[in-house]
Amino acid sequence: MTANMTFDALKKAVKSGEIDTVLACFVDMQGRLMGKRFHAVNFVETSFKETHCCNYLLATDLEMATPDGYASTSWQTGYGDYIMAPDLGTIRPMPWLESTAMVLCDILDHHSHAPVPHDPRAMLKKQVKRLNSLGFGAMMATELEFFLFEKSFEEIRRGGFRDLTPISGYNEDYHILQTSKEEHVMRPIRNHLFAAGLPIENTKGEAEAGQEELNIRYADALDCADHHTIAKHAVKEIAWQQGHAASFLPKWHKDRVGSSSHVHQSLWKDGQPVFYDKEKDLGKSEIMSQYMAGLIAFAPDYTYFLAPYVNSYKRFAKGTFAPTKTVWSVDNRTAGFRLCGEGSKGVRVECRIGGSDLNPYLAQAAMLAAGIKGIEDKMELSPPTSGDVYEDAKAADIPQTLRAATETLRNSNFLRDAMGDDVITHYTRAAEWEQEEFDRTVTDWEIARGFERA
């Protein structure tokens, strides 16, 4: 666990008055930080042991609704409490907020004190443990793409989300000139996160007006997911401090490129990359081939964990660098999976399916489960594809809608075995609810198309 503040250091900082507020946060189903702001004295004296939250928080949607159909929590059972157990290995300052530190919490059952199985952090820990029992550890990196807008969230909301003007007037892919104009937002993002203990690599302009990318150095899977979650939160807060909105919605305009979150993955043993075999083609070991075979074979099963909303599926369009096929390729950005770093110790697989709205704990847990299955069953990897994969009729498709991905999730015996029946049933309900909410909505598109002419 990387943190740049021990509990003792926090106590000292509280005593000296340097820190007066501690945020105790857990990660919800949507990948957001939720929790409470503690007076720092109370936290270091008592609440560091545990605090509590309502158990609807792991059975809600982006709007904080209380949908029916969840076995774990309901009006019938009275919406009781969960324990939020601070993981003291994750204490870090939040330098963009005054005198504030934070800690991540695990969610435990109020009575048994056992981990709640559908807590995203618990789900990832479970798969890491399974991988560890095969003798391996996982290193992961998740790229964060997002858009910056001229106006703030509040101004945009008051305007009915109509006046969405990106911060830049043109495609800013790798642009130094345009990104210099955005340094009042991006520089504090890099520096504050670095000071919070996140191994920030770089930021760059992305391939659309107002689109940004933040790269964080790869780390153990759980650290990587923690980093991603904290960074995404910080991007929104720091942009807000500067009067701008930062959006991780994967597709905010039909004619604009969407935002992704590519996930780089490699397995290690005793500090050595087990994906690397210098004798083999591309430097790709047998273990790597099996892991990739599992990733590819089960991609339809876990697509929901990479694309959890109706909007997520609007990103999967031809010719936009967002993949539509479950195939792999060598350094080809049109395939769902790309082998990077060929012939070197840095050889790894990048999954390009996930959108910027993914919850990194769920995405990584699902992909680890698929890779583990590939290794356990010694699955065979198909040959790489090449050329424009969008036009490859033989290549299998990623589920193209939330409805389709909900069915592949519901019917996945592999995921039910790997993650638990109760967990998959829980997230299937979340997926259904998202679709039900959308189906109840009358969209602007329908009105404009049919109001006069239907």
Report, in Å, the least distance between residue 129 CB and ligand ADP. Answer: 20
**Strand partners for 329:** 338, 385
End-to-end CA distance of the chain: 59
359 CA to centre of own chain: 3
- Comparing CB distances to ligand ADP, the nearer of 140 and 287 is 140
H or E segment and range at residue 188: helix 183-195
H or E segment and range at residue 144: strand 144-148
295-307 in b/e burial notation, b at 16+ Cβ within 10 A? bbbbbbbbbbbbb
- Comparing CB distances to ligand ADP, the nearer of 330 and 404 is 330
Rounded alpha-carbon distances, angstroms, from residue 328 to 162, 186, 307, 339, 360: 39, 33, 19, 7, 21
Rounded alpha-carbon distances, angstroms, from residue 11 to 38, 49, 195, 244: 14, 14, 18, 35
Q: Which residues of this chain interact with ligand ADP, rule CB under 6 A? A: 139-141, 201, 215, 217-218, 264-266, 346, 348
Look up residue 127 and give its two tokens. 């798969």
- Comparing CB distances to ligand ADP, the nearer of 60 and 266 is 266
Q: What is the DSSP letter of 355?
A: B
- Comparing CB distances to ligand ADP, the nearer of 182 and 223 is 223
Report the alpha-carbon distance of residue 363 to residue 298 in Å, rounded: 13
Number of neighbouring beta carbons within 10 Å of residue 108: 19
- Comparing CB distances to ligand ADP, the nearer of 228 and 325 is 228
DSSP symbols for 26-87: EE-TTS-EEEEEEEHHHIIIIITS-EEEEGGGGS--TT----S--SS--TTTT--EEEEEE-
- Comparing CB distances to ligand ADP, the nearer of 338 and 429 is 338
Report, in Å, the least distance between residue 262 CB and ligand ADP. Answer: 8
- Comparing CB distances to ligand ADP, the nearer of 227 and 233 is 227
Report, in Å, the least distance between residue 365 CB and ligand ADP. Answer: 16
For residue 68, which of 438, 440, 436 has the smallest C-alpha distance? 436
- Comparing CB distances to ligand ADP, the nearer of 14 and 288 is 288
Report, in Å, the least distance between residue 266 CB and ligand ADP. Answer: 3
Report, in Å, the least distance between residue 184 CB and ligand ADP. Answer: 24
Report, in Å, the least distance between residue 286 CB and ligand ADP. Answer: 17
Q: Is the dihedral of CA 399, 401, 405, 408 positive or negative?
A: negative
Report, in Å, the least distance between residue 142 CB and ligand ADP. Answer: 8
Report, in Å, the least distance between residue 264 CB and ligand ADP. Answer: 3
